[in-house]
Structure 1
């Protein structure tokens, strides 16, 4: 069984906050984790969850720290949240964050050709939209000075408990009386028609998506925040569309199980899978 000894830090990690853009006069901040004394490293953009309305760049700190200690830099983004900023505002902020990292990572010694993404829960949904539509004009609304040639395409993707079918999740929340989730869907999407348009599952099934990067999907089987078949259906659609994707289920684990307890055996195993997946994509 995997234990904490498998995740002994190989590198010291430098952590700093920086600004990757602005919306009006409001800065868009990120926490940047990078391995000390390493050059030519791979990088990952981290998109946090919070049902589109809550949390920030620190939510996945336990995951980000492990990834960085294994030799991969992580840029954990803040972005605008609903209800103040409904769809597609946050997706555009994330698109900018991806492009900013690709355009700037060489300043710290990173390899701009080796950039991937990490998304959790609603962050997985927003990351999927940028993976499937990296050049959508709504998502590329923020200009990046001196980097018009850089797009938001990614070399690989890790998603943990993603909301890959927001329509199915919305209907489940309504059917089970989960008013918190219903309210959050309404705050971000405003209506079900927008949910259907911004639906990664439907985008894949429609044939709209282009080139698909290798992906790893982590899912607990006791996750009450997704429909029981959501991960299976998405993986099937991704593979049918030509993508290479690995699904790893963790028996009895709930939503956000790594963040809830990063030292429990299932979390340690999942973190080991994530770091090994990243390593294999970039060797």
Structure 2
């Protein structure tokens, strides 16, 4: 493992527009890890790099892991990351601060920093960030929504990046599996189910408690806050009892009403983390994600 040095913005890759991407591409990968930054708790946050072998440059994608804000790391979506990278994408999965280390908005700050850091360093791994995308799962989807909707929020951009102090954390599109789009509704669902672990995870992360409303993507839209609206893809399991389909459907409807594009896909016979297991619905999720990326890069 080596530390990734700042190499400067890959401006040359922007000149010809977004790189060509074929969702049916097949590439071998080089997988490596680099140190990104040390968080306030003293833990080094690592970035895992999935780099296609080929001339490139390859479109870049940042992966934000889930884990109910309280656990997991950059390895959480390894099968999806490998599948996407093998189609011709530079995929970078990063560790996020977990709630026992620091509550909201620490992990959103990590994500904001990671976007800026990747914009500076992607060329090191033959990546192109002219249309940088995000893939995120579950609570990572919540982080991704806040990241995309509030890219210049000073609360989220509080961690300086010395190599590029003026770069921002805007992204071009976001793909999510089972995102926590309505934090308070999810907590109420946990109460109904008497899921003490889920309730505890919420209370550790949203401290003080009122931040469960301040940092709620659904309520942000309902309050008609001024936000950035980039294209979203939401992939939702029909059998998910963690984040209910009706929550996602309502969020997608509200996001579209605010002027955003939201491609909502319901996966039958699928629970919260269905993409962790091989099967036809997992294959379908990968294909849907690749097709969505291709549309964004052509747009």
How does the TM-score come out when normalised to structure 1? 0.93
State which drifts further: 63-72 or 15-24: 15-24
Please, which of 179, 183, 186 is the counterpart of residue 196 of structure 2? 179
Please, which of 8, 24, 29 is the counterpart of residue 13 of structure 1? 29
Coordinate RMSD, CA, aligned? 1.5
CA shift digits 1:115-162 (9 cap, x unpaired): 111110000001111111111111111111121221111111101100
Q: How does 1:124-143 map to 2 (within 5 A)?
A: 124-143=141-160
Please, which of 262, 269, 275 is the counterpart of residue 284 of structure 2? 269
Corresponding position: 1:167 with 2:160: no
Structure 2 unaligned regions, length at least 5: 1-22
Q: How far did residue 214 of structure 1 move?
A: 1.2
3-state SS of 1:100 partner: helix
Question: Partner of 1:4 in structure 2?
Answer: none
Question: Partner of 1:281 in structure 2?
Answer: 296
Contact 1:117 1:158 survives alignment (8 Å): yes
Question: Partner of 1:27 in structure 2?
Answer: 44
Give the Cα separation in 1 of the matches to 2:120 and 2:210.
35
Question: Partner of 1:94 in structure 2?
Answer: 111
Q: How far did residue 8 of structure 1 move?
A: 7.6
Contact 1:168 1:227 survives alignment (8 Å): no
Q: How far did residue 172 of structure 1 move?
A: 1.3
Contact 1:38 1:71 survives alignment (8 Å): no
Contact 2:25 2:88 survives alignment (8 Å): no
Question: Partner of 1:77 in structure 2?
Answer: 94
Question: Partner of 1:211 in structure 2?
Answer: 228
Change (3 A) 1:41 1:209: farther
Structure 1 unaligned regions, length at least 5: 1-6
Q: How far did residue 242 of structure 1 move?
A: 0.9
Give the Cα separation in 2 of the matches to 1:228 and 1:275.
22
Change (3 A) 1:8 1:62: farther
Question: Partner of 1:246 in structure 2?
Answer: 263
Give the Cα separation in 1 of the matches to 2:121 and 2:210.
37
Give the Cα separation in 1 of the matches to 2:35 and 2:114.
10
Question: Partner of 2:252 in structure 1?
Answer: 235
3-state SS of 1:97 partner: helix
Contact 1:80 1:90 survives alignment (8 Å): yes
Give the Cα separation in 1 of the matches to 2:228 and 2:217.
14
Give the Cα separation in 2 of the matches to 1:275 and 1:14.
20
Contact 2:236 2:245 survives alignment (8 Å): no
How does the TM-score come out when normalised to structure 2? 0.88
Runs ≥4 residues deviating over 3 A: none
Q: How does 1:54-65 map to 2 (within 5 A)?
A: 54-65=71-82
